[in-house]
Amino acid sequence: MDYIKREGNWIPKLGFGTFNLTGRDVLGALEFALDVGYRHIDTAQMYENEDEIGKVLAKTSVSRDRLFITTKVWWTNLSKKDFLPSVEDSLRKLKQDYVDLLLIHWPNKDIPLEESLEQLEKAKLKGYAKLIGVSNFNVELLERVEKFGTPIACNQFEYHALLNQDKLIQKTRSLSAFVTAYSPIARGQVGDEEVLKKISLRYRVSATQVALRWLVQQEDVVAIPKSRQLVRIKQNFDVFNFSLTEEEMQQISALRQKNLRLIDPEFAPSWD
DSSP string, 89-100: HHHHHHT-S-EE
Among this protein's residues, is 47 annotated catalytic? yes
**Mean pLDDT, residues 83-106 taken together:** 98
pLDDT in the model for residue 60: 97
pLDDT per position as a tens digit, 187-240: 999 999 999 999 999 999 999 999 999 999 999 999 999 999 999 999 999 999
pLDDT per position as a tens digit, 125-168: 999 999 999 999 999 999 999 999 999 999 999 999 999 999 99
**Mean pLDDT, residues 171-194 taken together:** 97
**Mean pLDDT, residues 159-179 taken together:** 98
Q: Which of 38, 47, 159, 182 is catalytic?
A: 47
Instruction: Please tell me the distance from the alpha carbon of residue 22 to that of residue 37, in angstroms, as a whole number.
Output: 21
pLDDT in the model for residue 19: 96
Name the H helices within 5-159: 23-36, 50-59, 83-94, 113-125, 139-148
Looking at residue 255, its amino acid is L
By the 10 Å C-beta count (0-12 exposed, 13-18 middle, 19+ buried), 189 is classed as middle
pLDDT in the model for residue 8: 96
**Mean pLDDT, residues 15-20 taken together:** 97
If pLDDT is split at 50, 70 and 90, which confidence band does 99 have?
Answer: very high
pLDDT in the model for residue 132: 98
If pLDDT is split at 50, 70 and 90, which confidence band does 51 have?
Answer: very high
Instruction: Please tell me the distance from the alpha carbon of residue 185 to that of residue 212, in angstroms, as a whole number.
Output: 7
Domains in the chain with CATH codes: 10-185+219-240 (3.20.20.100)
Mean of pLDDT over the chain? 97
pLDDT in the model for residue 105: 97
Q: What residues form DSSP beta bridges with 3?
A: 12
If pLDDT is split at 50, 70 and 90, which confidence band does 270 have?
Answer: very high
